[in-house]
Amino acid sequence: MLFAVFFAFWRFLQIVTLIPTMGMLAYFVHGWVELNQLTPDYVLVLFIVSVLALAWSIYTLFSYHRSSTNATFVAIFDLLFVGAFIGAVYALRFIANANCSNVTRGSNTDISFGPYGYASVADWDINVDKTCAMLKACFAFGIMNAVFFFITSILACFHGDRMSDRDQKTYYRETHVHRHGHRSSRSPHSRRSRSHSHSHRRTYV
């Protein structure tokens, strides 16, 4: 039960962060397609990884019963996504040091306080580069999802070990019960055969 809560929580975080990542990257892909140009690798790689990871997260979240019984398989796939996100983030690493906003000081504005004088307040203009900010957000979400998928991989790995131990105990219990039932089923037959042979000998005596 505790595994289900933690697993669903981290899967939900993955879905929440992957949806805007996929949307912003789809915006860039659409722009390059409209210009009839090839999409750069630093956008295309992260976009493909985000789409696949989102589909995998949704599938494993809503089919939790199958995911729990195949926990080792889920752990391996999540670990592959960790490597994929690390590679995609590495391709987009140049955006980490980019300055996406520009703050400039405008003209001063005088504010009057009547008999108490006035104050001079400076106007500040903030210019944000939309393309740079979106790529930087995708870069941050990519790092976050690399961590998230590593956590779900560890959770699924531990759950897989528990499931295997439980299966071994169940198999041992079923085998023990089967053998015990087989012996008990043989014992009345052996008693009847003994009594029958004993009565048969008494007849001829």
The type of residue at 100 is C
Tell me the C-alpha distance between 168 and 191, whole Å: 35
The per-residue pLDDT for 174 is 47
Mean pLDDT of 180-194: 48
Tens of pLDDT, residue by residue over 136-181, are 999 999 999 999 999 999 988 886 555 444 444 443 444 444 444 4
Question: Are the CB atoms for 61 and 6 separated by under 8 Å?
Answer: no
Stated pTM of the model: 0.69
Q: At what angle do helices 71-91 and 41-62 cross, to 10 degrees?
A: 160
Cite the DSSP H helix spans in the chain. Answer: 2-34, 41-62, 64-69, 71-91, 130-204
pLDDT for 135 beyond 90: yes
| Residue 70: DSSP 8-state | T
Tell me the C-alpha distance between 166 and 158, whole Å: 13
| Residue 120: DSSP 8-state | E
Question: Are the CB atoms for 28 and 45 separated by under 8 Å?
Answer: no
Tell me the C-alpha distance between 156 and 71, whole Å: 5
What does the domain layout of the chain look like in residue ranges? 2-96+132-168
